[in-house]
Amino acid sequence: MAQESQHRQPGSAPAPTLGFATRAVHAGEEADLREGATGDVVAAIHLATTYARKEVALPGRYEYVRSQNPTREALEVKLAALENARYGLAFSSGLAAETTLLLATLKAGDHIVAFDDLYGGTKRLFEQVFVSFGVEVSYVDATGALPVERALRPSTKMVWVESPTNPLLKLSDIRAIAQVTRRNGLILVVDNTFLSPYFQKPLDLGADVVVHSVTKYIGGHSDVLGGALLVNSEQHYEKLQYLQNSAGAVLSPFDSYLTLRGLKTLALRMERHQQNALAIAHFLEKHPKVSRVLYPGLESHPQHELAKAQASGFGGVLSFDLKGTVPDAENFLERLQVFTLAESLGGVESLIELPSQMTHASLEKAAREKIGITDTLIRLSAGIEDAADLVADLEQALA
Ligand SMILES: *Cc1c(COP(=O)(O)O)cnc(C)c1O
């Protein structure tokens, strides 16, 4: 296996014949047992920024760190193996991955149809940055395919969705939308950050590109900023690889190593995140001070059936409406002992936040409420602590 991996194209994954947890541990870092090799059982951190060659006209496999790095390549192989993708590319943040994708695929005059409930940073990238390069974006309710199809223009090149969305946990019907994008020759991008490849594999559902903020579940320990793109088309891969090097927003060797390390426990962590989220959702659903709980794993979620049809789990993020006012919500959040009051999600520690005052504070109140983000909507990311401690903490703070 070691020899084979040496000759594989950078970032390309072996066929997914082994189970997910096995691939999470082994893919991309098979021990090198050739004569003279160390046989390390984990990928080494290669810090060199440049690589020596014997002859002027004869570069080795590696030339310069931005272009190629063995630690980053090990991660790219592992990520591709986990998303059932042929190719993976790692970047210095989720937004760097998104920027590289847009630079590689769009030109002035091109149009994107995007889910109206997108991650705020992605919306800002579209509206404040790519608008200056002549890229146009229409936002639609992309829970189903019809609004997406209606918004298509002759200049449309790309459809961009997230499922589930943040913080409203709406789902996008990826299979149905993929039929529309296939029929019209468009690129379907799915941001898979919230479920991770453990629960959802958008390329298998017909998507062309998967985007990840590695910063969340993939890294998993709230200590790495990173991003990734996963594709099956060789043509897409070559363009993306060219821009990865030309624009230069690559993941560092050390962060690549931390991400490789985090990924080994992704299967275990996602199971526990989900167990804890379900326990919390059931507790909150019965609490008299809570008016609504949004979690795809609850039968009360309007798209619970779609969740079961396109993913193998529901993830670890949920939102709920607290009865009362902003000060009541602030008071509740500040009384929590086990939950940490912070933005972000996907780490081993449980995090909680108030979107109207924190992650989504830049939206006008009317615009926020129009899409369902009330003043007292609370989003939480269930960590991997004991469920009983998390529920007890919420209970005492609600009392
Ligand atoms: C955090 C996040 C991003 C952006 O990723 P960064 O790593 O912070 O740049 C994109 N999409 C989703 C869904 C996210 O949660």
Query: Tens of pLDDT along 157-167?
Result: 999 999 999 99
pLDDT for the residue numbered 191: 98
Whether the CB of 227 sits within 6 Å of ligand 1? yes
Separation of alpha carbons 259 and 302, rounded Å: 34
Flag whether pLDDT at 361 surpasses 60.
Answer: yes
In degrees and rounded to multiples of 5, residue 385 shows phi and psi of: -70, -175
Coil vs helix vs strand at 210: strand
* 123 pocket-lining for ligand 1 (C-beta < 6 Å): no
**pLDDT of 13:** 65
Domains, the chain, with CATH or none:
2-263 (3.40.640.10), 266-398 (3.90.1150.10)
Question: Residue 367: which pLDDT band, with cuts at 50, 70 and 90?
Answer: confident
pLDDT at 197 over 60: yes
What is the Å distance from ligand 1's center to 344 Cα?
8
Pocket test for ligand 1, best of 125, 169, 193, 379 (most atoms within 8 A of CB): 193
- Residue 108: Cβ within 10 Å count: 10
Task: State the pLDDT at residue 362.
Answer: 80
CA distance 32 to 16: 21
The yes-or-no verdict on residue 356 having pLDDT over 50 is yes
pLDDT category at 2 given cuts 50, 70, 90 is very low
Which two structure tokens, joined as six digits, stand for 222? 């709230």
Handedness of CA 149, 190, 278, 297 (dihedral sign): positive
Q: With a cut of 50, say whether residue 214 has pLDDT above it.
A: yes
Query: Is the minimum distance from the CB of 259 to ligand 1 under 6 angstroms?
Result: no
* Ligand 1 nearest atom to the CA of residue 215, by list position: 7
Q: Whose CA is nearest to atom 1 of ligand 1?
A: 213
Assess whether pLDDT exceeds 80 at residue 383: yes
Residue 297 is given by DSSP the state T
Ligand 1 neighbourhood includes 350 CB (under 6 angstroms): no
Provide the mean pLDDT of the chain.
94
CA–CA–CA angle 34, 61, 56 (5° rounding): 125
CB of 119 closer than 6 A to ligand 1?
yes
CA dihedral 165, 168, 174, 176 (to 10 degrees): -150
Closest residue to atom 7 of ligand 1, CA basis: 94
Q: Which of 100, 118, 196, 216 to mutate to test the pocket of ligand 1 (most atoms within 8 A of CB)?
A: 216
Report pLDDT digits (tens) over 46-80: 999 999 999 999 988 999 999 999 999 999 999 99
pLDDT of res. 1: 36
Report, as residue numbers or ranges, the catalytic residues.
66, 119, 191, 216
Question: Atom of ligand 1 at shortest distance to CA of 214?
Answer: 7
Q: What residue's CA is closest to ligand 1, atom 8?
A: 94
pLDDT digits (tens, 9 = 90+) for 245-289: 999 999 999 999 999 999 999 999 999 999 999 999 999 999 999
pLDDT, tens digit, for every residue of 82-140? 999 999 999 999 999 999 999 999 999 999 999 998 998 999 999 999 999 999 999 99
Decide: helix, strand or coil at residue 380.
strand
What pLDDT is attached to residue 15? Answer: 59
Q: Whose CA is nearest to atom 4 of ligand 1?
A: 94
Ligand 1 pocket test: which of 92, 93, 95, 170 has the largest number of ligand atoms within 8 Å of its C-beta?
95
Output the pLDDT for position 16. Answer: 60
**How many Å lie between the centroid of ligand 1 and the Cα of residue 276?**
22
The string of pLDDT tens digits covering residues 284-329 is 999 999 999 999 999 999 999 999 999 999 999 999 999 999 999 9
Residue 379 pLDDT greater than 60, yes or no: yes
